[in-house]
Amino acid sequence: MDVLETTYLNNTVLEWIIAIGLAIGSYFVIKVVKLFIVHRLGVVAKRTTSQIDDVLMEIIKRTNSLVVAIVALYFGSLFLTLPDNIDHIIKIIVTMAFFLQVAVWGNALTDTLLARISKVRREKDPGSASALTAISFFARIVVWSVVAFLILDNFGVNITTLVAGLGVGGIAIALAIQNILGDVFCSVAILMDKPFEVGDFIIVGDLMGSVEKIGIKTTRVRSLSGEQLIFSNTDLVSTRIRNYKRMNERRVVFSFGVTYQTPIEKVEAIPETVKKIIQSTSDTRFDRVHFKEYGDSALAFECVYYVLSADYNIYMDTQQQINLEILRYFEKEGIEFAYPTQTLYIAK
């Protein structure tokens, strides 16, 4: 009994043993409670379609064992008589551990929610995956910034002055990296406004291809010839983009000319015949055919119709079929296509 009454650092051996036992017991109790809650939430999650229990389960799983150990040691220290400075240090460590754990929980909440939303939307909207990635990035910054300010506040730092200083410094940094920030905000604009999405075929200036990825700073496009085109998001927002993926039908305009020697009755019959050829071709909607003008070397005709599909191969197959039918008709009627010619009259 004398040994248990021996005093070390203002506490008896018995008090140290009780404090250590309390700390160890607290650690295992918290771990058991954590496992029990995760298990129960897992059982409930399998029975229900609600996402709340799944999210809570993922958050609790992220509880860090080191944080649990620090909290358990704090509970044990409550049974001891410690100097004020040591007691203050312990409280600071516990506070830091708590806020860091809150940050981890915040990240878990963000990751879990965005992962589930992304899973639901990915099939309907492939571009949303990139949007959610950007949102996740900014959410992490917000969470860790708030936690950092709370920790500094508990250290006695005047965060009002710090925030003001960071505001001035932030302006200077923003001016230094304004091009990068411009691309970041433009990426958010693209992902929110959705002028194009992953998989869309777009034309930007004289460059074209299918969108592969919409990133934070750049957008990657696979060209028809195979190479990857990389566009700055700022450039894409500030220019005109032609999006062929959203085209429901394609308007087609083509012209041809016949020689001036073609008899008038055959010239009159051409528009009606071409109209019938277009109308008899599948996946088309006829618009008009006109004897347009007297060209330098031909009587020029202009034809307009719509292909009822955005597929480029279908358009080319349709145009080829129409061209062949017109060629057969001209060959049958003895009508000649015009080509550039000149007639010279030489005075004697």
Identify whether residues 28 and 122 lie together within a single domain. Answer: yes
Identify whether residues 32 and 144 lie together within a single domain. Answer: yes
Residue 1 lies in a domain: no
> CB burial class (10 A; 0-12, 13-18, 19+) of residue 206?
exposed
Identify whether residues 24 and 150 lie together within a single domain. Answer: yes
Domain edge (last residue) among 107, 133, 165: 165
**How many separate domains does the chain show?**
3
**Alpha helices by DSSP H, 62-127:** 65-77, 84-121
Identify whether residues 71 and 141 lie together within a single domain. Answer: yes
Domain edge (last residue) among 243, 278, 308: 243
Which tokens go with 257?
Answer: 């000319």
Q: Please enumerate in sequence order all residues whose Cβ is within 8 A of that of 10, keeping only pairs 6 or more positions apart, or say none.
A: 81, 82, 83
Residue 29 lies in a domain: yes
Q: What is the pTM of this model?
A: 0.51
* Per-residue pLDDT, 146: 77
Identify whether residues 261 and 232 lie together within a single domain. Answer: no
Residues pairing with 11 in the sheet: 8
Residue 131 lies in a domain: yes
Q: Report which of 62, 61, 70 is spatially closest to residue 38, judged by C-alpha positions.
A: 61
Return the CATH number at 295: 3.30.70.100
Q: Report which of 98, 82, 36, 94 is spatially closest to residue 61, judged by C-alpha positions.
A: 36
CA–CA gap between residue 257 and residue 336 (Å, rounded): 9
CA–CA gap between residue 202 and residue 218 (Å, rounded): 15
Identify whether residues 27 and 101 lie together within a single domain. Answer: yes
Residue 347 lies in a domain: no
Identify whether residues 14 and 144 lie together within a single domain. Answer: yes
Q: Please enumerate in sequence order all residues whose Cβ is within 8 A of that of 315, keeping only pairs 6 or more positions apart, or say none.
A: 250, 252, 307, 309
Enclosing domain of residue 296: 250-333
Residue 307 lies in a domain: yes
Q: Which residue has the tokens 């410094």?
A: 169
Residue 178 lies in a domain: no
Identify whether residues 12 and 144 lie together within a single domain. Answer: yes
Length, in residues, of the chain: 348
60 neighbors 31 (Cβ within 8 angstroms): no
DSSP-based three-state secondary structure for 306: strand
Identify whether residues 258 and 238 lie together within a single domain. Answer: no
CA–CA gap between residue 195 and residue 50 (Å, rounded): 33
CA–CA gap between residue 325 and residue 281 (Å, rounded): 10
DSSP-based three-state secondary structure for 113: helix
Identify whether residues 63 and 107 lie together within a single domain. Answer: yes
Residue 172 lies in a domain: no
- Taking the CB of residue 157, how many other CB atoms lie within 10 A of it? 12
* Per-residue pLDDT, 340: 79
* Per-residue pLDDT, 177: 52
Identify whether residues 22 and 139 lie together within a single domain. Answer: yes
- Rg over CA atoms, the chain: 38
Residue 142 lies in a domain: yes
254 neighbors 303 (Cβ within 8 angstroms): yes
pLDDT in tens, the chain (348 residues): 566 666 766 777 787 888 888 888 888 988 888 888 888 877 777 777 766 777 788 788 888 888 888 888 888 888 777 777 887 788 888 888 888 888 888 888 877 777 776 666 555 555 555 556 666 777 777 777 777 777 777 766 666 665 665 565 555 555 555 566 667 777 777 777 788 888 888 999 888 899 988 877 888 999 988 899 999 888 888 888 888 888 888 999 999 999 999 999 999 999 999 999 999 999 999 999 999 999 888 999 999 999 998 888 899 999 999 999 999 999 999 999 988 777 777 876
Identify whether residues 289 and 223 lie together within a single domain. Answer: no
Return the CATH number at 196: 2.30.30.60
Question: Which residue type, as a one-letter code, is found at position 195?
Answer: P
